[in-house]
Amino acid sequence: MSQALRRALGQYATGVTVITTLGSDGRPVGMTANSFSSLSMDPPLVLWSIGRKSSNFVHFEEAPCFAVHVLHAGQAGLAARFATRDVDRFEGVAASAGASGAPQLDDFLARFDCATEARLPGGDHLILVGRVLAFDEREGLAPLVFHGGRYAELNNERGSAP
């Protein structure tokens, strides 16, 4: 059932993000995630989840803050890099510290600097809720999306609002 369920869930197109924080040793840590979602406007909250078997789990489990970077269509290579094990994910990537202290990538479609508000159990994942402290966005760029196990690009034409 798990492979069939994974295929069925893969039919839901999602945005692609890179989530960053500082490890307990003070070094930047980051990973690609597509589980990001808005949660609340008042207070401003977002959420995402990390698998308990992730090599990054220990870093995010206790992190007091994190940054979410929504990627644009030209960043499939960056998404793949932050999804790859045993590489220096930050090598050659322009980043600086945000207000929370979490590393922030300089290139993004939207970026959210968050203080960790809550950690909730979610089966084989941990759900992290972040209070948005600051955010940025860039217009005129198409988003990078993930569908059917692959990265995809959308055109930047605006459709009608629901």
Domain annotation covers residue 25: yes
Q: Is the pLDDT of residue 126 over 70?
A: yes
Give domain status of residue 118, yes or no.
yes
pLDDT at position 122, please? 96
What percent of the chain shows pLDDT beyond 70? 94
Backbone angles phi, psi at 70, to 5 degrees: -80, 125
Interval 67-88 mean pLDDT: 95
Give the residue numbers spanning the domain of 72.
2-142
Residue range 51-79: mean pLDDT, rounded: 96
Q: Would you tell me how many other CB atoms lie within 10 Å of the CB of residue 12?
A: 10
Per cent of the chain over pLDDT 90 is: 78
Q: How many domains does the chain have?
A: 1
| pLDDT tens readout for residues 5-54 | 888 888 888 999 999 999 989 999 999 999 999 999 999 999 999 999 99
Domain contains 153: no
The pLDDT value given to residue 154:
72
Q: Give pLDDT, residue 128.
A: 98
Domain presence at residue 22? yes
Whether 120 shows a pLDDT value over 90: the answer reads yes
Q: Give whole-number Cα distances, 95 to 33, 34, 90, 103, in Å.
A: 18, 21, 8, 6
Q: What is the DSSP letter of 107?
A: S
Residue whose entry in the numeric block shows the structure tokens 């992190």: 63
CATH number at residue 44: 2.30.110.10
Q: With 70 as the cut, is the pLDDT of residue 157 above it?
A: no
pLDDT at 156: 55
Is residue 98 situated within a structural domain? yes
Residue appearing with tokens 């069939």:
4
Nearest to 20 by CA among 140, 128, 119: 128
Predicted local confidence at residue 149, as pLDDT:
87
Is 60 inside a domain boundary?
yes
Q: Specify if 157 maps to a domain.
A: no
Query: Is 116 among the domain residues?
Result: yes
Condensed to tens digits (0 to 9), the pLDDT of residues 78-91 reads 999 999 998 999 99
